[in-house]
Amino acid sequence: MHAQIHPQPGILEIALYQGGSSKIAGRDDVVKLSSNENPFGAGDLARMAYARAGHDLHRYPSTDHAGLREALGAHFGLEPARIICGAGSDEIISFLCQAYAGPGDEVLYSEHGFLMYRISALAAGATPVTAPERARTTDVDALLAAATPRTKLVFIANPNNPTGTMIPTEEIMRLAEELPPQALLVLDGAYAEYAEGYDGGAALVDARENIVMTRTFSKLFGLGGLRVGWGYGPGHVIDVLNRVRGPFNLSNVQLDVAEAALGDAAHISRSLSENARLRDWLAEKLNAIGVATDRSHANFVLARFRDAAQAEACNAALLADGLIVRHVASYGLPEALRITVGDESACRRVAYVIGTFMEQQG
């Protein structure tokens, strides 16, 4: 730290976000299952749009993202005027904290919540506050008990990362109804598409003035490297977020490729059906060899071991076989490994290595 030149309070408390690693020294057959990426990559329509976008690199992009917002509105049945697009949903989370929380304010989220909530709250000078979960599941009563007159934002991911669990829409409604009047509820729907019959909370957003939904192209749509996310909220919130947003926060490459991905029905349906099939297969295999999992509604499973030491030893066994998963100690789950659902061969490799590991544990 410099003697006189200091950042705003809170900034130096931020621990840098660690992305899922992708390399193991000396191996070229590595499978990365640590960042919940789509194992099939981006779809063909997105790849073609990416190639076409190269012709317009000298042009400034649209400042209002009208094309992508119209496409999102049509695809999800939402009002385009109440959609905002950002560089990943991370940027929407950051806009929310910047706009609604500052020094003296509290940003509330659950115990095993996404690390970006804490990072964005601290970056805005606000105080991060956590509420306990019940059996690795969002606990509405605990969140309500932790809310105070200083609570400005409440984040819940549904389904949650890294647990994969979710709570019913009625529970979210109860939370929104009973929160103090100055608090805005943010429903992080990064994995909403994977949860069958779930709209990510869009209907709740339409029904109330204190709910915002965030979504992303990084998971189901296979575009984590492109950085496109979006939010849907009441008019008064979208108006505020647009004032914070830089006019050119998304490039024309990002806008065009995301829009193309939205129209790739074949890629979407293959990604969804393979994920559901292999996720349930992997969870069953793990349970059969004595590794507990909660029912996951996302594109990963959380494998729970006896203790932190066993989780670490299993992680080492997976790494030795070229499989990179995520040890989620930083999420308050030191006994667990979060495993992204890969393609069939990756899932079989994971099940085999963990099976062998558990046999040796006796």
Ligand X SMILES: *Cc1c(COP(=O)(O)O)cnc(C)c1O
Binding site for ligand X (CB under 6 A): 36, 88-90, 114, 157, 161, 188, 190, 216, 218-219, 224, 229
Q: Closest CB to ligand X belongs to which residue?
A: 88
Taking the least distance from each CB to ligand X, the nearer of 20 and 334 is 20
Taking the least distance from each CB to ligand X, the nearer of 151 and 160 is 160
CB of 92 to ligand X, least distance (A): 8
CB of 218 to ligand X, least distance (A): 3
Taking the least distance from each CB to ligand X, the nearer of 119 and 351 is 119
The residue length of the chain stands at 362
Taking the least distance from each CB to ligand X, the nearer of 138 and 161 is 161
CB of 320 to ligand X, least distance (A): 27
CB of 157 to ligand X, least distance (A): 4
CB of 42 to ligand X, least distance (A): 14
Taking the least distance from each CB to ligand X, the nearer of 213 and 353 is 213
| CB-CB contact of 42 with 261 (8 Å) | yes
Give how far Cα 346 sits from Cα of 86, 160, 352, 360, Å.
32, 23, 10, 21
CB of 223 to ligand X, least distance (A): 9
Taking the least distance from each CB to ligand X, the nearer of 317 and 329 is 329
